[in-house]
């Protein structure tokens, strides 16, 4: 027989007490009954209803929920999640209790619950401008339908247009800015502005928050139809006086399976030497423990070459999945429930959590200013 000790709110305590008295049983017996009869969600719903949320948001292209953590930390409640990858769905459900809906293209705006902020990334895709001049596109409120049809950004624009969130945050790789001779990024910004949003964007480096060089483009927008005054927003600036270091995220003891084999280590050294002779910088990245690592990518599971940890007296090693989680700023209790291969892909595709949290906090300042104007 095992014992479980939990802390609950006073209101939930009274709810359980009242229900147990009505059934003429102990509170412990009532809770066990609920668990056996799959009434856990009932207890969860009661607890959730008591929380004081500042705003609601939806999480598109959610991955494993790094953006969700950032927005929850500033008082948000996620009311809908979309993520098609089945392994990401497993990790997401294990950590948040919600299984994401699948393909974002199947989301109907009329079925999306009321919310305040839309967040998410989207794949970088080229847009076709066939038959649509820039002049005509900019002159029509629905011009984005022609320019972005068939892309996943179109789905973001469709949902923003149909639900009118007060604000949004979109994240993408740095190369979105230069993709397809800058046409892709220009189309994205034009589209969002055509939807009558004031748009701000900035390339930010996760190295301000974690010991990893990770540049991403962040696009923030505020609904001009909602705001009654000036829309003022500034992206966060670096505030850490102490730079995070790679050594800070490392485990003290690591399984030998993460150490590179002689064959793989020899191959990586030869590969790097070959490209060095050609005058380019391709090759492995041996991390400086007192410094910042290269960017963690989704391909890390292949050989780990972009971030290798030096080891005294033996070959370098890969990061463990838990170390990857720390490198992205995920909390220590974040559950890793998939294979190492999938975990590496998931963290490599994710966001730097504390950076997202800081952007969310700045967005709330702008929204709170408008709320104050309305009082």
Catalytic annotation, residues: 124
Q: What's the burial of 63, exposed, middle or buried (CB within 10 Å: 0-12/13-18/19+)?
A: buried
| Measured distance CA(190)–CA(133) in Å, rounded | 13
Please give the radius of gyration of the chain, using alpha carbons only, rounded to the nearest integer: 24
CB 137 within 8 A of CB 157: no
Specify whether the backbone of 241 is left (phi greater than 0), alpha (psi in -120 to 50) or beta. Answer: alpha
| Measured distance CA(194)–CA(182) in Å, rounded | 18
Contacts of 170 (CB under 8 A, 6+ apart): 119, 120, 121, 122, 156, 188, 218, 219, 220, 221
| Measured distance CA(191)–CA(164) in Å, rounded | 14
The number of beta carbons lying within 10 Å of the beta carbon of residue 143 is 20
């Amino acid at each position: 027989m095992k014992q479980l000790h939990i802390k609950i709110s006073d209101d939930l305590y009274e709810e359980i007490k009242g229900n147990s008295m009505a059934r003429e049983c102990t509170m412990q017996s009532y809770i066990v009954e609920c668990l056996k009869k799959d009434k856990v969600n009932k207890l969860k719903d009661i607890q959730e209803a008591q929380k004081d949320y500042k705003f609601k948001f939806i999480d598109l292209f959610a991955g494993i929920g790094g953006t969700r953590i950032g927005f929850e930390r500033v008082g948000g409640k996620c009311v809908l999640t979309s993520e098609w990858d089945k392994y990401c769905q497993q990790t997401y459900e294990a950590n948040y209790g919600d299984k994401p809906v699948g393909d974002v293209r199947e989301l109907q705006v009329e079925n999306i619950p009321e919310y305040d902020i839309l967040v998410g990334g989207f794949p970088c895709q080229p847009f076709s401008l066939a038959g649509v001049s820039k002049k005509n596109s900019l002159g029509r409120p629905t011009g984005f339908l022609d320019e972005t049809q068939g892309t996943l950004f179109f789905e973001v624009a469709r949902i923003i247009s149909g639900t009118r969130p007060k604000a949004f945050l979109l994240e993408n790789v740095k190369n979105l800015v230069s993709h397809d001779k800058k046409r892709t990024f220009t189309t994205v910004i034009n589209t969002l502005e055509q939807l009558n949003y004031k748009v701000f964007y900035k390339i930010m480096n996760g190295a301000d928050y974690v010991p990893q060089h990770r540049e991403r483009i962040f696009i923030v927008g505020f609904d001009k139809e909602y705001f009654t005054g000036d829309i003022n927003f500034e992206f966060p600036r670096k505030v850490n006086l102490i730079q995070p270091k790679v050594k800070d995220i490392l485990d003290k003891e690591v399984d030998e399976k993460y150490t590179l084999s002689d064959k793989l280590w020899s191959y990586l050294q030869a590969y790097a030497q070959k490209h060095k002779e050609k005058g380019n910088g391709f090759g492995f990245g041996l991390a400086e423990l007192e410094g910042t690592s290269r960017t963690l990518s989704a391909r890390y599971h292949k050989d780990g070459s972009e971030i290798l940890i030096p080891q005294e007296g033996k070959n370098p090693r890969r990061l463990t999945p838990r170390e990857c989680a720390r490198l992205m700023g995920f909390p220590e209790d974040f559950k890793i429930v998939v294979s190492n291969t999938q975990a590496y892909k998931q963290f490599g595709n994710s966001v730097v959590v504390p950076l997202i949290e800081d952007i969310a906090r700045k967005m709330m300042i702008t929204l709170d200013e408008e709320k104050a104007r309305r009082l």
